[in-house]
Copies of this chain bind each other. A is one copy, B any other.
Amino acid sequence: MSAPFKKLALIGIGLIGSSIALAARRQGLADVIAISTRKAETLDEARELGLGDIYTLDAADAVRGADLVILCTPVGAYESVMRAIAPALEKGAILSDVGSVKGHVVKVLAPLVPEGVHLIPGHPIAGTEHSGPSAGFAELFAGRWCVLTPGAEVDPAQTERLAGFWRAMGSQVETMDAAHHDMVLAITSHIPHLVAYNIVGTVADLEAATQSEVIKFSASGFRDFTRIAASDPVMWRDVFLTNRDAVLEMLGRFSEDLSVLQRAVRTGDGPALETMFTRTRAIRRSIISAGQETAAPDFGRPHEATPAPVSPVILREHGGGDDA
């Protein structure tokens, strides 16, 4: 029995591309997986990891004969990739991507898509702070949402075919308008990343002595921000270059709200602070009950074991307190 797709072409093989390769292989979703990257060393790494069947530096080669092509490069590279692959795309193929912005992607790709190729942009809402081909794992998409933003001209049967591909990898699929996607993601993803990068940057500007203490005491909240701010810089640069309007709109709201909080701190308005800090708990509960997060404290982060009980005699040696 043959797989749902005869040839899957992945252009770019970072965290998302490699995770698709592993999940598609495990679920038997393509007879052949072709991988193309711009850099030879990344391609070598993918080959060593055994992520695909065909490895090539020529993206046109990879897409030739493919019935599913997924762009997994940073969004900033889409236009040049598209110019390279357009002549080689097969009639009837689905062309999709995994970029974090969708309006811009449509604007760049749509004019270059050959007739008969189905452009269905996609965005799997999944990831970790790690990047590169070795960061991928087959379970990345399990229980996570994948948003598809097909244009009005796309045959629903093709959208459903791509949705089936994502469901088979464990995702829940939702289709929506590209502009709406970009506004929702601006607040759930782009602003959190911008703020995390910003606060880690503020720390990077502190004098060296204080900075080493910040690292020491990072468990007090800061380290969560550094995880987000460790995400791929080129990918994130492209997100902010290509979702500018939605980001600036949401950043405006964020800054207004922060000014209100800042004033409450300055004026010592305890009731306002407590009200603000209480109402945010409900949203956390909703996220956990929606299955998008673990309820375990600290995300289930491992905690070390305590040391073996210390002899009281040793403890007392330090002290000489009143009860000695």
- B contact residues around A306 at 8 Å (CB): 23, 26-27, 138-139, 141-142, 169-170
Contact A299 B189 (CB under 8 A): no
Contact B241 A251 (CB under 8 A): no
Q: Mark A220-232, 1 if CB is under 8 A from B, else 0.
A: 1111111111110
- B contact residues around A217 at 8 Å (CB): 125, 145, 147, 184-185, 188-189
Q: Mark A191-213, 1 if CB is under 8 A from B, else 0.
A: 11111111111111110001101
Contact A168 B300 (CB under 8 A): no
Contact A280 B226 (CB under 8 A): yes
Identical chains in the assembly:
2
Contact A200 B303 (CB under 8 A): no
- B contact residues around A188 at 8 Å (CB): 203, 214, 217-218, 220-222
- By beta carbon, the residue of chain B nearest A167 is B310
Sorting the interface of chain A by its residue count into under 10, 10 to 19, 20 to 34 or 35 or more gives: 35 or more
A152 within 8 A of B: no
A281-297 contacts to B, CB under 8 A, are 281-284, 286-287, 290, 292-294, 297
Contact partner of A145 (CB less than 8 A), chosen from B27, B100, B219, is B219
